[in-house]
Amino acid sequence: MNKITIAGQPLHTIMSAAPAVLIPFGFILDAMHSATGDEDYAKASYLSMAGGIVGGLAAGVAGVAEYVADKPEGEARHDSQLHAALTAGALLVGAANLVLRRQGTHARGGSLALTALSAAGVLASEYLGRRMSGTEGTAGEHVEAGVHANHEDVRIDHTVTDVEQYVAAGPSSVHPPK
């Protein structure tokens, strides 16, 4: 898979952390505003949502670049398109919420519902994205496969904190298969 990377990590995966964290956090802050009436929570929620939307747009650009470069087929294509649609829908709902808030309507209950809908969409999209990339559990991008210096196959899963796999790989580095 062709991926834009920074320090070996996919750019889209790095950037998707912003909406995956900031938009649900905005919902939590919005719920706290509804419970307490404290305007500081509403302001913080607005900023959190805005940051999540900007981060989501940036992650989307990286995701589209990966999609175009990779040209997935079959189920991978369907899942990629569903992931993009979920993310776009969640960001549109979040943006509509921000526009309504700028008009001073955040005090009504609809804003909390829009924030919840946006957070649910982003979390569902993040779940689907992780499932597609295989970063759930132990398989995925963090698994390094190669051939040891003595020509034995080596697989190191960097998501598991198991020192034995590094010891078993031996003192030399993992070499790419020939």
The average pLDDT across 26-50 equals: 92
Which has more confidence, 172 or 72?
72
* pTM for the structure as a whole: 0.71
Q: Which residues pair with 79 in a beta bridge?
A: none
- Highest-pLDDT range among 68-72, 120-124, 173-177: 120-124
Please give the pLDDT value at position 130: 84
CB 45 within 8 A of CB 115: yes
Report the percent of the chain where pLDDT is more than 70. 70
75: confidence class by pLDDT, cuts 50, 70, 90: confident
The average pLDDT across 111-131 equals: 91
Token reading at 90: 């969640």
From CA 19, how far away is CA 65, in angstroms rounded? 18
Please give the pLDDT value at position 47: 95
- The label of the residue with tokens 């650009």 reads 61
Please give the pLDDT value at position 101: 86
Question: H-helix or E-strand containing 17?
Answer: helix 17-36
- Interior angle at CA 64, CA 142 and CA 49, nearest 5: 85
Nearest to 3 by CA among 72, 55, 75: 72
Token reading at 147: 């051939």
Report the percent of the chain where pLDDT is more than 90. 41
Which has more confidence, 160 or 21?
21
Phi, psi of 155 (to 5 degrees): -130, 125
27: confidence class by pLDDT, cuts 50, 70, 90: very high
170: confidence class by pLDDT, cuts 50, 70, 90: low
- Highest-pLDDT range among 46-55, 147-156, 168-177: 46-55
From CA 76, how far away is CA 45, in angstroms rounded? 34
